[in-house]
């Protein structure tokens, strides 16, 4: 029986476990990436492990999230990360060099390699045939230290692409169509593998748009084959030497199959407030817009920018619309500056932002209240834009640009004939914003620079014998990591200061939560289904850890957040019967008697006693050998320290 591409790469990297669906496997990690919002903590954790030099083939730290400097905190964090990188063997991509996923694809990614990144859109690397997975910062720290990364052996979905996209229909519409069909929960535990004749018609940046936003399916990752198109892209980046051909065997067996005829797709938009709330422009009808933002790791490639500039050239942005554009990397910005496309954007009235995440992470450009904002980004959760009642639609760059001119949501096909937009034969290569690490011989002389905002990793402790505490918070379904640990200009600078950042934990749902939980000392959180969906934000586990959360009991978890809870030593529990969610309320006193002994004895079914009502509630605590040991030790850091000292 032949193998899928996913299986081939996983098999080549397998270091622990067996190839059985649904079981946990450990894989060797070749490359890591971090961004600054999660990276500061990842490097504090890496330092705490005591490994002098990273053991990966390539590790890169990017500064792209919190690039606004309205106080000393960000600048101090950037300096801390830069100095840690220099000392420990990590490449440092300076602020201004671009968004981590785009720069990594352009300058560092290699087909067939494994990559984990402390950012949920790391699957962008699947666009050149990598197994690229979003993980917690601690997982990245462990991988840099030479430890394996553990995933559940995934189901593999074949997306069979046929045909060719019609003019003005784009890669964004492909992934919106997949989201429309599969939903934000549809990819959990799965790798989405793109195959078929239609693959050849998509460039690498188009493929990367699709794998990037596969994160919104909840998928482990998404991947394209590495073919002649991949070679052409790498050649244009002066990196043809890292190319190899990679594809699934003809007789590979998949768990599911989806067929998409590219020629049948139409321009689509994800409507507020979920990336799978997808409709065609016709279905949405007449929609007046206030703002357009173009950029993000999903849609800020060279060709994306060239299309936007072409549409804007010689025109003027509608006076009621604010148009902001952030090219994805210095490389792209430099190229459009040289060829005149940037001038066309500026002349049309676009506001040019630096090559960074910017408005995607709520760093500026929040829409007006109740404002309708078209964005080429990947997420439109409520409040993420910084405006609570903002109405965010996720669209292609083509639709965003034409709509900025008309002031209404507009079908880009009304533009008429489309010229051919080609990838350049040679990109402008200039890596002067990437600082290489010091030589190993010189590393001792490098000083790590710590500002006052850098506070150590919070205190952890081994799993208690019993948990006896109150429910400090009860929340509903689809709680995102933005609910748990909001981002934004005021909060992000505190990411290396857990005591301070935890004061914002869950405050979008309940302003009093941080104070209440801290006063309780120990407590648990109760939630609905898909708890923790959204980003890999590790702080969504570390802030609750600092606030004394011992367990989270929900109907179901999002994958990365569940892993982050385990890594923080917080017990992840699910209801055996979802209806029991109604039998437990905020403020109730609950007991999990002898929980340590039960976890040690591999008992997956535990009983939560609600002391307030006297009701017994069966819950599942599904931990495999390794995750069990991590929980018992009090989190991954304690576990890794134990392992390294053996
Ligand atoms: Fe940045 Fe937004 Fe991507 S925050 S990494 S551009 S999802």
Q: Among 350, 381, 415, give the residue marking a domain's end.
A: 415
- Res. 561: pLDDT tops 90: yes
**Beta bridge mates, 31:** 58, 115
More reliable by pLDDT, 49 or 316? 316
Average pLDDT over residues 543-549: 97
Q: Is the same domain home to 219 and 288?
A: no
- C-alpha span between 542 and 568 (Å, rounded): 6
Inter-helix orientation angle 625-633/559-567, to 10°:
50
Q: Is the same domain home to 191 and 294?
A: no
Residues contacting ligand 1 via CB (< 6 Å) = 65, 99-101, 119, 121, 296-297, 357, 360-361, 377-378
pLDDT score at 94 = 98
Residue 300: burial class (beta carbons within 10 Å; 0-12, 13-18, 19+): buried
Inter-residue contact 237 to 107 (CB < 8 Å): yes
More reliable by pLDDT, 24 or 467? 467
Q: Among 392, 415, 438, give the residue marking a domain's end.
A: 415
Q: Is the same domain home to 12 and 109?
A: yes
Confidence of residue 171 (pLDDT cuts 50, 70, 90): very high
Average pLDDT over residues 4-20: 95
* Total number of domains constituting the chain: 3
pLDDT score at 358 = 96
Does ipTM come in above 0.95?
A: yes
Q: Is the dihedral of CA 98, 101, 104, 105 positive or negative?
A: negative
Q: Is residue 406 part of a domain?
A: yes
Residue nearest to atom 5 of ligand 1 (CA): 297
- Res. 1: pLDDT tops 90: no
pLDDT in tens, 305-355: 999 999 999 999 999 999 999 999 999 999 999 999 999 999 999 999 999
Residue 286: burial class (beta carbons within 10 Å; 0-12, 13-18, 19+): exposed
CA atoms within 13 A on the CB side of 384: 27
Q: Which atom of ligand 1 is nearest to the CA of 100?
A: 5
Alpha helices (runs of H) in 245-301, residue ranges in sequence order: 281-284
Q: Is residue 448 part of a domain?
A: no
Instruction: Please state whether the peptide bond connecting residue 273 to the residue before it is cis, i.e. omega within 30 degrees of 0.
Output: yes
Q: Among 201, 233, 264, give the residue marking a domain's end.
A: 264
Q: What is the DSSP string of 555-571?
A: S-B-HHHHHHHHHTTPE
Confidence of residue 14 (pLDDT cuts 50, 70, 90): very high
Average pLDDT, the chain: 95
Residue 65 annotated to the active site: yes
Q: Is residue 427 part of a domain?
A: no
- Res. 442: pLDDT tops 80: yes
Place of tokens 């060829």: 339
Residue 537 annotated to the active site: yes
Average pLDDT over residues 393-400: 98
Confidence of residue 457 (pLDDT cuts 50, 70, 90): confident
Distance 54 CA to ligand 1 centre (A): 25
Q: Is the same domain home to 397 and 356?
A: yes
- Res. 71: pLDDT tops 90: no
pLDDT in tens, 567-589: 999 999 999 999 999 999 999 99
pLDDT in tens, 598-609: 999 999 999 999
Q: Which of 13, 78, 107, 379 is catalytic?
A: 379
Average pLDDT over residues 385-392: 94
Average pLDDT over residues 137-147: 92
Average pLDDT over residues 412-423: 96
Q: Is the same domain home to 409 and 511?
A: no
Q: Is residue 428 part of a domain?
A: no
- Res. 250: pLDDT tops 90: yes
Q: Is residue 473 part of a domain?
A: yes
Distance 139 CA to ligand 1 centre (A): 19
- The dihedral over CA atoms of 96, 100, 104, 107, expressed in degrees to the nearest 10, equals 0
- Res. 460: pLDDT tops 90: no
Residue 614: burial class (beta carbons within 10 Å; 0-12, 13-18, 19+): exposed
Which token pair is 589? 């006193």
| Pairing between β-strand 190-195 and β-strand 221-223 as defined by DSSP bridges | parallel
Q: Is the same domain home to 142 and 29?
A: yes
Q: Is the same domain home to 260 and 324?
A: no
- Res. 546: pLDDT tops 90: yes
Q: Is the same domain home to 605 and 555?
A: yes
Q: Is residue 449 part of a domain?
A: no
Which token pair is 63? 């500064």
CA neighbor of 488 nearest in space, from 475, 499, 504: 504
Could you write out the three-class secondary structure of 178-216?
HHHHHCCCCCECEEEEEECHHHHHCCHHHHHHHHHHHHH
Percent of the chain with pLDDT over 90: 87
Q: Is the same domain home to 219 and 359?
A: no
Q: Which atom of ligand 1 is nearest to the CA of 64?
A: 1
Q: Is the same domain home to 601 and 486?
A: yes
pLDDT score at 73 = 87
Q: What is the DSSP string of 293-349?
A: EE-TTTS-SHHHHHHHHHHHTT----TT-EEEE--SBHHHHHHHHHHSHHHHHHHHT
- Res. 488: pLDDT tops 90: no
Residue 418: burial class (beta carbons within 10 Å; 0-12, 13-18, 19+): middle
Confidence of residue 638 (pLDDT cuts 50, 70, 90): confident
Confidence of residue 558 (pLDDT cuts 50, 70, 90): very high
Percent of the chain with pLDDT over 70: 100
Residue 20: burial class (beta carbons within 10 Å; 0-12, 13-18, 19+): exposed
More reliable by pLDDT, 276 or 489? 276
| Domain span at 355 | 268-415
Residue 535 annotated to the active site: yes
- Res. 535: pLDDT tops 80: no
Q: Is the same domain home to 164 and 313?
A: no
Residue 379 annotated to the active site: yes
Q: Is the same domain home to 244 and 290?
A: no
- Res. 129: pLDDT tops 90: yes
Q: Is residue 433 part of a domain?
A: no
Q: Which atom of ligand 1 is nearest to the CA of 361?
A: 4
Q: Is residue 504 part of a domain?
A: yes
Question: What letter would DSSP give residue 255?
Answer: S
Residue 53 annotated to the active site: no
Q: Domain of 609: which CATH number? A: 3.20.19.10
Confidence of residue 538 (pLDDT cuts 50, 70, 90): confident
Alpha helices (runs of H) in 89-165, residue ranges in sequence order: 100-107, 137-144
Distance 505 CA to ligand 1 centre (A): 21
Confidence of residue 22 (pLDDT cuts 50, 70, 90): confident
Q: Domain of 198: which CATH number? A: 3.30.499.10
Distance 588 CA to ligand 1 centre (A): 38
**Phi, psi of 69, rounded to the nearest 5 degrees:** -125, 85
Residues sharing a CB contact under 8 Å with residue 401, sequence separation 6 or more, in sequence order: 292, 294, 307, 308, 311, 312, 412
Which token pair is 167? 């003019």
- C-alpha span between 26 and 28 (Å, rounded): 7
**Helix (H) or strand (E) run with residue 526 in it:** strand 523-526
**Helix (H) or strand (E) run with residue 591 in it:** strand 589-592
- C-alpha span between 394 and 172 (Å, rounded): 9
- C-alpha span between 102 and 35 (Å, rounded): 12
Question: What letter would DSSP give residue 354?
Answer: P
pLDDT score at 438 = 98
pLDDT score at 112 = 98
Q: What is the DSSP string of 461-507?
A: -PPPS-EEEEEEEE--SS-BHHHHS--STTTGGGTT-HHHHGGGTTT
Residue to mutate (ligand 1; options 357, 380, 386, 533; most atoms within 8 A of CB): 357
């Amino acid at each position: 029986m032949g193998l899928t591409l996913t299986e081939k790469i996983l098999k080549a990297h397998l270091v622990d476990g067996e190839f059985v669906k649904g079981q946990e496997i450990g894989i060797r990690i070749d490359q890591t990436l971090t961004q600054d919002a999660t990276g500061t903590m990842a490097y504090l954790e890496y330092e705490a492990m005591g490994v002098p030099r990273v053991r990966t083939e390539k590790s890169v730290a990017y500064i792209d999230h919190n690039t606004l400097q309205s106080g000393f905190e960000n600048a101090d964090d950037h300096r801390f990360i830069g100095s840690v990188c220099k000392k420990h063997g990590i490449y440092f991509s300076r602020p201004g060099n671009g968004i981590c996923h785009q720069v990594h694809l352009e300058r560092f990614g290699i087909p067939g390699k494994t990559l984990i990144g402390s950012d949920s859109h790391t699957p962008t690397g699947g666009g050149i045939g990598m197994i690229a997975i979003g993980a917690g910062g601690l997982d990245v720290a462990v991988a840099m230290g030479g430890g394996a990364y553990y995933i559940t052996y995934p189901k593999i979905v074949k997306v069979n692409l046929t045909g060719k996209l019609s003019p003005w229909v784009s890669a964004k519409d492909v992934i919106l169509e997949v989201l429309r069909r599969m939903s934000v929960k549809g990819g959990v535990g799965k790798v989405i593998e793109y195959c078929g004749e239609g693959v050849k018609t998509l460039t690498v940046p188009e493929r990367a748009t699709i794998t990037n936003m596969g994160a919104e399916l909840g998928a482990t990752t998404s991947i394209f084959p590495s073919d002649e198109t991949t070679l052409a892209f790498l050649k244009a980046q002066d990196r043809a030497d890292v190319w190899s051909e990679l594809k699934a065997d003809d007789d590979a067996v998949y768990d599911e199959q989806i067929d998409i005829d590219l020629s049948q797709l139409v321009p689509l938009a994800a409507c507020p407030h979920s990336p799978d709330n997808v409709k065609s422009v016709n279905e949405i009808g007449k929609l007046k817009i206030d703002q357009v933002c173009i950029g993000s790791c999903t849609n800020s490639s060279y060709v994306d920018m060239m299309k936007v500039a072409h549409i804007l050239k010689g025109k003027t942005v509608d006076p009621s619309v604010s148009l902001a554009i952030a090219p994805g990397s210095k490389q792209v910005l430099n190229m459009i500056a040289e060829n005149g496309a940037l001038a066309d954007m500026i002349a049309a009235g676009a506001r040019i932002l630096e090559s960074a995440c910017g408005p995607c992470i709520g760093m500026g450009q929040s829409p007006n209240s109740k404002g309708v904002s078209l964005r080429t980004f990947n997420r439109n959760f409520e409040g993420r834009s910084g405006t609570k009642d903002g109405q965010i639609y996720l669209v292609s760059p083509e639709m965003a640009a034409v709509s900025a001119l008309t002031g209404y949501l507009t079908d880009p096909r009304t533009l008429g004939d489309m010229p051919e937009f080609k990838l350049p034969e040679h990109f402008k290569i200039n890596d002067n914003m990437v600082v290489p690490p010091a030589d190993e011989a010189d590393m001792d002389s490098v000083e790590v620079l710590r500002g006052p905002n850098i506070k150590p990793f919070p205190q952890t402790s081994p799993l208690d014998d019993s948990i006896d505490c109150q429910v400090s918070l009860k929340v509903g379904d689809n709680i995102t990591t933005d609910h748990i640990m909001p981002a934004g200009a005021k909060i992000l600078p505190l990411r290396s200061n857990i005591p301070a950042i935890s004061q914002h934990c869950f405050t979008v749902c309940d302003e009093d939560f941080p104070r209440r939980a801290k006063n309780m000392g120990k407590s648990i959180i109760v939630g609905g289904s898909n708890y923790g969906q959204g980003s890999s934000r590790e702080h969504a586990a570390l802030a609750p850890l600092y606030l004394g959360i011992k367990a989270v009991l929900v109907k179901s978890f999002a994958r990365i957040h569940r892993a982050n809870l385990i890594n923080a030593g917080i017990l992840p529990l699910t209801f055996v019967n979802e209806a029991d969610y109604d039998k437990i309320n905020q403020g109730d006193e609950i007991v999990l008697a002898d929980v340590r002994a039960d976890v040690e004895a591999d008992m997956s079914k535990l009983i939560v006693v609600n002391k307030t009502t006297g009701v017994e509630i069966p819950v599942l605590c599904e931990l495999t050998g390794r995750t069990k040991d991590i929980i018992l030790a009090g989190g991954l850091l304690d576990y890794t320290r134990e392992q390294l000292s053996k």
